[in-house]
């Protein structure tokens, strides 16, 4: 008889817990469904395309095409070569090469004791 009483008690406890679980699921399920409906309503209200949503990709595409065209077009004037002056002619001439023309000067320069101290202005 004790076993029958224990199973009856277990069934009542199980039934009470199941009923409470169903009530909790209904309460939270209703709240979740309401929150979902509100979120979907807000999304549809704000999902109308704005002017920026449409114009920004178009403007970016036009800018990329314009930049590409500007970079790929043959350029205007090429830089002019450096003008030849008397100084450049002198530096480029063979007579400027002192090492082959005046080896005695370099020998004399190597023999000099040059003051390595700092320069002073007076």
pLDDT value for 64: 94
The reply to whether 35 falls in a domain is yes
The reply to whether 28 falls in a domain is yes
| DSSP symbol at 112 | S
The structural domain count of the chain equals: 1
pLDDT value for 106: 72
pLDDT value for 51: 76
Distance CA 77, CA 73 (A): 12
Tell if the pTM clears 0.85, that is, is over it. Answer: no
Distance CA 107, CA 97 (A): 15
Distance CA 116, CA 110 (A): 14
pLDDT value for 61: 93
**Residue 1 belongs to what domain range?**
1-47
The reply to whether 17 falls in a domain is yes
Distance CA 48, CA 52 (A): 11
CA trace torsion 45, 51, 52, 55 (10° rounding):
140
The reply to whether 113 falls in a domain is no
The reply to whether 106 falls in a domain is no
The reply to whether 75 falls in a domain is no
Residuewise pLDDT in 10s, the chain (122 residues): 456 667 888 899 999 999 998 888 888 888 888 998 998 888 776 666 677 778 888 999 999 999 998 888 877 667 777 666 666 666 666 666 655 667 777 778 778 776 665 555 54
Distance CA 9, CA 15 (A): 10
Which helix (H) or strand (E) covers residue 91, if one does?
A: helix 86-92
């Amino acid at each position: 008889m004790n076993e029958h009483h224990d199973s009856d008690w277990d069934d009542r406890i199980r039934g009470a817990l199941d009923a409470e679980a169903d009530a909790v699921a209904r309460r939270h399920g209703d709240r979740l469904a309401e929150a979902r409906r509100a979120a979907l309503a807000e999304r549809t209200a704000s999902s109308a395309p704005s002017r920026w949503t449409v114009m920004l990709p178009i403007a970016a595409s036009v800018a990329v095409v314009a930049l590409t065209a500007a970079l790929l077009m043959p350029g205007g004037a090429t830089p002019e070569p450096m003008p030849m002056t008397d100084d450049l002619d002198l530096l480029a001439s063979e007579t400027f090469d002192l090492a082959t023309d005046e080896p005695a000067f370099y020998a004399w320069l190597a023999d000099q004791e040059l003051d390595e101290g700092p320069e002073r202005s007076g």
